[in-house]
Structure 1
Amino acid sequence: MRCPSCSSLDTQVKDSRPTEDSAVIRRRRVCMACNFRFTTFERVQLRELTVIKRNGRRVPFDRDKLVRSVQISLRKRPVEPEKVEKMVSAIVRELESAGEAEISSEAIGEIVMEHLRKLDDVAYVRFASVYRNFREAKDFEAVLGELSGDEMARLAALRLK
């Protein structure tokens, strides 16, 4: 592992331990050249995923991008970071275990919305507004109707998809 301070490759692991959910290994490292201490995280990756964007472009799946988009939708919401991490890990596991090497950004968005809906209604609406590209107030009404169980709004939301 390259030292982030001096770029030396001569580093040693001083401590390793799993995180609370045992999905990630936290490693404390020290650079033998400059004595800089830093932390790395190691997680299992079942397969390399490729995301097919709406324009047809293919890009490697980026877990950090998923985390950022979820965090934006959860900004200033009373949700514990551990719950967010568990949700993101569950989403990634779901994507990796789907059996496909390529997955559309639309499918990822739907999975994220499904998980956000269970976690926080406001974050769900925020994410949906960007993901579904809301243009008018009725778009919000449709999603709010989904949350409230209003049948007419649910039908309108299905037409938006």
Structure 2
Amino acid sequence: MICPYCSHTKLKVTDKRPSIPKGAIRRRRECLNCKKRFTTYEKIIQHDFYIIKKDKRREKFDKEKFENGIVKAFEKRPISKEKIDKMINEIEEQLRKKGKKEIKSSVIGEIIMRKIKKLDNVAYIRFASVYRDFQDIQDFKKN
């Protein structure tokens, strides 16, 4: 680690604590040369896993795509960003704890739908209508 201000390598940690997302450590550091302080975050690098799509294609897990799909369901809903982020992190952690290199998209979709339903029924309907590819109200009533 080097100081971002003077590039000196002698630093001391003045404070450390767990951070969100879970698994990250926030550290306040002070440069022993220039005395300036800065914050760093340490996070364990997660190994990638693959999603097995309905058509049997394998696709690398894309956290951004995963998050965007969930966030879109909550658009203009009275749920805080913190609650949505917490749910996203819980789902990702649940998927990673499975310890599998490949997970079916149907398994992921069901986990997401259960979690969304606990937070907001409208967001659940929005997500389900896209995930289950409802074409009209009859499709929705069947499911």
The range that moved more, 14-23 or 111-120, is 14-23
Give the TM-score of the pair, scaled to structure 1.
0.64
Partners of 1:136 and 1:88 in 2: how far apart? 28
Aligned amino acid, residue 103 of structure 2? I
Partners of 1:41 and 1:63 in 2: how far apart? 19
Structure with greater contact order relative to length (CA < 8 Å, sep ≥ 6): 2
Map Cα deviations across residues 32-80 of structure 1 (whole Å, 9 max, x no partner): xxxxxxx886544554211111222111111121111111000001111
- The equivalent residue for 1:132 is 132
Unaligned runs of 5+ in 2: 1-6, 29-38
SS in 2 for 1:51: strand
Kindly report the root-mean-square deviation, in angstroms, between the aligned alpha carbons of the 2 structures: 3.1
In structure 2, relative to structure 1, the CA distance for the partners of 1:52 and 1:41 (3 Å cut) is: farther
User: How many correspondences in the alignment?
Assistant: 127
Unaligned runs of 5+ in 1: 1-9, 29-38, 143-155
- The equivalent residue for 2:117 is 117
In structure 2, relative to structure 1, the CA distance for the partners of 1:42 and 1:85 (3 Å cut) is: farther
Aligned amino acid, residue 55 of structure 2? N
1:74 and 2:77 correspond = no
Partners of 1:58 and 1:19 in 2: how far apart? 33
- The equivalent residue for 1:83 is 83
Structure ranking higher in helix proportion: 1
Aligned amino acid, residue 70 of structure 1? I
Between the two proteins, what is the percent identity of the paired residues? 41
Aligned amino acid, residue 126 of structure 2? R
